[in-house]
Structure 1
Amino acid sequence: MLTDTKIRTAKPAEKAYRLADSGGLFLHVMASGSKIWRMRYRSPEGKEQTLTLAPYPAMSLQDARRARDAAKDIKRQGIDPVAHKKIAPALLRPAHEEVFEAIAREWYGQRRDLWRPRHAHDVITSLERDVFPLIGKLPPSQITPRTVLHVLRHVEDRGAIETAHRIRQRISEIFVHAIATDRADSDPAAVVKPALRPVKRGRQPAITDLDEAREMIRKTEDMAAHPVTLLAMRLLYLTAVRPGEVRGARWDEFHDLSGSEPIWVIVAERMKMDREHVVPLAPAAVEVIEALRPFSDRWPHLFPNSRRPRVPLCENAIGYLLNRAGYHGRHVPHGFRATF
């Protein structure tokens, strides 16, 4: 391992030589006396490569190690730091310049309390999974539209087109924050939107013919399945709420079940529109709720998971039930809203 003293006192020789540090990083001491940080590594194809970082003392030992780690992070994504010239130069960032990940986490910290917990989790998870490994260690000044598009192409290539659009929007909002706080001059994510693959819009598969819907319900309810799953599907089609709202239904959300106006009050934090939703309950819906008591009235949720009763029913349970009844690709749980 190198030290500042060893680097500073290294003298030129008749021929250039190397002073090794760790992880492939070395200081190349030239015959002329100049000293240059370089890094040896193997490309994704297995070819030995050398990445030139910056001269010493313009880049300190500490900064050289950070640059080495950044190059390794890029390489883990299957990217050759030398081949991607738009990314590699950013490894030469000045020590004082804040990196994208730090600014992004600051932006997230200012907003997460305004979001529903699930959305906040989705935002930071998408950044940690798809963005930070590629550009998290780069300063905003070194991130170009081409670099952003490279990040988004990785997301598109796994078929997550809509996710790529959401991530682009989040990157753009982070750059707007950086511009407002005088840490960036432009938003490279704003100009790449037209270059992304379009999102195919269309409604969920749903049966909307009344007779066919009755036949589907009959076939599905005749399936051998756990009673809680069957009752969850029945409450779903009797109320036309979203599947997640049924799965997460809690006993304390139901009121006046024995009265003349029974209702289900879904709390705002469980709603997509982030506001309380009141669902009037037909007599058949009340019967479903009462039928659930032997199964779940000792748990918080109406529809407990059969293996872990303190958490709700598996999100795929109703979908699997419909698939086994022969409706794969023809009707999904969310499709009951279209049926309704």
Structure 2
Amino acid sequence: MPLTDTAIRTAKPTDKAVKLFDGGGLYLEIAPSGGKWWRLKYRFQGKEKRISLGTYPTVSLKDARERREQAKRLIEQGIDPSNQRKEAKAAAAAIEQEQNTTFEAVARDWFSKKRNAWTPGHQKKILSRLENQLFPILGDKLFPALEPADFLTAIQKAESRGAIETAHRLAQLCGQVSRYARIVGLTRYDVAAGLTEALTPVQTNHYATITDPAEVGHLLRAIDEYAGEPSICFALKVLPFVFVRSVELRGAEWREFDFESATWIIPAERMKMKRPHTVPLAHQVITLLNDLHSLTGSGRYLFPSLFSASRPISDMGLLNALRRMGYAKGVMTIHGFRSLASTLLNEQGYRADVIEAQLAHGEKNAIRAAYNHAEYLPERRQMMQEWADYLDELKTENNLA
């Protein structure tokens, strides 16, 4: 007797599996757990076989009967429904696998594994290069089929418009994704290796800086005499003493400072290398910060924007101030304060490891990096105070040598 919806709904599980037959090999199997499975029993080439047609109520009685008829039509055509299903699953899996091996899929997988080690700004930059410059050309190509010429076509787009450095960065990015693809078994070798050999060489431009002591003194006096927005003025006065990166200085928050220990700890998420960085503060910096606190201490940032206290000053604001003081692009930059400090501290005989630690340059060995942080801090604190005293001496010199 054929099944009815009422009979199916009211059927109760027992301690053993129960089968309710509908006819034509279709039956509903009720498991002791309460699950209801549609099954189809049929014979193919003399052998009895079974396949599942889904679960009730997701698959209704009407749907189950339609699936039974579809299976019968396959059998009449000499096709085993079970084998046909396996082949369909294999084909779907192959399509899915193919979709997962496109350049875009592989690059996004690589990006997802790397992004947590980068600052938000760097994440945005890398993703933009992928989405705007590489995916439009390489995105839907299967990685195992990619050749060096494919990558070269993509990166030469940037080169053709004169963006030589960008082209080299894209080549580097392609290489990183390609090496990841090799590691996960999608290609036998780094198919993007050596791309820069086919590109116009980059003309290296170092950040302009001043390293002559007399000229440094002149620069410091120009900063002291500069009359501009308070946040810009104080940021420029603090920067030579701490020589951190511009983004680290501009985003400084009052909560990061411990005035009792004269220490500024920049959190990992704001650092290029994603590690906290300690900046010992000379007494000259403490004096500047106390003066600044009366102006901006009620807010979040030390150097809030003139237009909105909810965001800090911009790099362009600092750079424009330098230009107004008469320092052209080829003479001095904001990043140049780091080169200035590095050059003069090395000339004065401070240990290179101590200077590098204070500059927060990357240490490949994470254990050594942590050790250096603890081992060098007393030396760094002494160096930073002596550096501040040295800058004061340069600033008070009356004559340029």
- Normalising to structure 1: TM-score of the pair? 0.65
**What SS class does the counterpart of residue 279 from structure 1 fall into?**
strand
**What SS class does the counterpart of residue 174 from structure 2 fall into?**
helix
Query: 2:332 — aligned with what?
Result: 331
Alpha-carbon offset, residue 183 of structure 1: 3.3
**What SS class does the counterpart of residue 301 from structure 2 fall into?**
coil
Between 137-146 and 178-187, report the one with greater CA deviation: 178-187
Residue 192 of structure 2 corresponds to residue 196 of structure 1 = no
Query: 1:248 — aligned with what?
Result: 251
> How far apart in 1 are the matches of 2:209 and 2:274?
26
Query: 2:152 — aligned with what?
Result: 149
Task: Tell me if structure 1 keeps the 8 A contact 2:168–2:196.
Answer: yes
Query: 2:289 — aligned with what?
Result: 289
Alpha-carbon offset, residue 136 of structure 1: 0.9
| Matching residue's letter, 1:271 | M
Alpha-carbon offset, residue 327 of structure 1: 0.5
| Matching residue's letter, 2:186 | R
> How far apart in 2 are the matches of 1:310 and 1:323?
26
**What SS class does the counterpart of residue 98 from structure 2 fall into?**
coil
Between 231-240 and 135-144, report the one with greater CA deviation: 135-144
Between 317-326 and 176-185, report the one with greater CA deviation: 176-185
Task: Tell me if structure 1 keeps the 8 A contact 2:223–2:237.
Answer: no
Residue 301 of structure 2 corresponds to residue 301 of structure 1 = yes
> How far apart in 2 are the matches of 1:122 and 1:182?
27
Query: 2:118 — aligned with what?
Result: 115
Alpha-carbon offset, residue 185 of structure 1: 4.3
> How far apart in 2 are the matches of 1:228 and 1:313?
7
Query: 1:230 — aligned with what?
Result: 233
| Matching residue's letter, 2:137 | L
Greater helix fraction, Structure 1 or Structure 2: 2
| Matching residue's letter, 1:189 | A
In the superposition, relative to structure 1, how do residues 300 and 95 fare at CA in structure 2: closer, same or farther (>3 Å)? closer
Deviations 1:217-257 (A, max 9, x none): 323443331011010001101212222211111111111x2
Task: Tell me if structure 1 keeps the 8 A contact 2:119–2:271.
Answer: no
| Matching residue's letter, 1:325 | M
**Root-mean-square deviation (CA), in Å?**
2.3
Task: Tell me if structure 1 keeps the 8 A contact 2:304–2:312.
Answer: yes
Residue 193 of structure 2 corresponds to residue 176 of structure 1 = no
Alignment gaps of 5+ in structure 1: 1-93
Deviations 1:12-31 (A, max 9, x none): xxxxxxxxxxxxxxxxxxxx
Query: Where in structure 1 do 4 or more consecutive aligned residues deviate above 6 Å?
Result: none
Structure with larger Rg: 2
Alpha-carbon offset, residue 210 of structure 1: 1.8
- Normalising to structure 2: TM-score of the pair? 0.56
> How far apart in 1 are the matches of 2:305 and 2:225?
21
Deviations 1:240-289 (A, max 9, x none): 2222211111111111x2x4x41111222222333222222122211221
| Matching residue's letter, 1:280 | P
In the superposition, relative to structure 1, how do residues 157 and 302 fare at CA in structure 2: closer, same or farther (>3 Å)? farther
Alpha-carbon offset, residue 132 of structure 1: 0.6
Identify which of 129, 132, 136 aligns with 1:129. Answer: 132
In the superposition, relative to structure 1, how do residues 339 and 186 fare at CA in structure 2: closer, same or farther (>3 Å)? closer
Alpha-carbon offset, residue 303 of structure 1: 0.8
| Matching residue's letter, 1:310 | S
Between 140-149 and 278-287, report the one with greater CA deviation: 140-149
Alignment gaps of 5+ in structure 2: 1-94, 342-401
> How far apart in 2 are the matches of 1:213 and 1:189?
45
> How far apart in 1 are the matches of 2:186 and 2:226?
60
> How far apart in 1 are the matches of 2:292 and 2:124?
31
Alpha-carbon offset, residue 128 of structure 1: 0.7
Output aligned runs, 1:37-52, within 5 Å: none
**What SS class does the counterpart of residue 199 from structure 1 fall into?**
coil
Between 156-165 and 275-284, report the one with greater CA deviation: 156-165
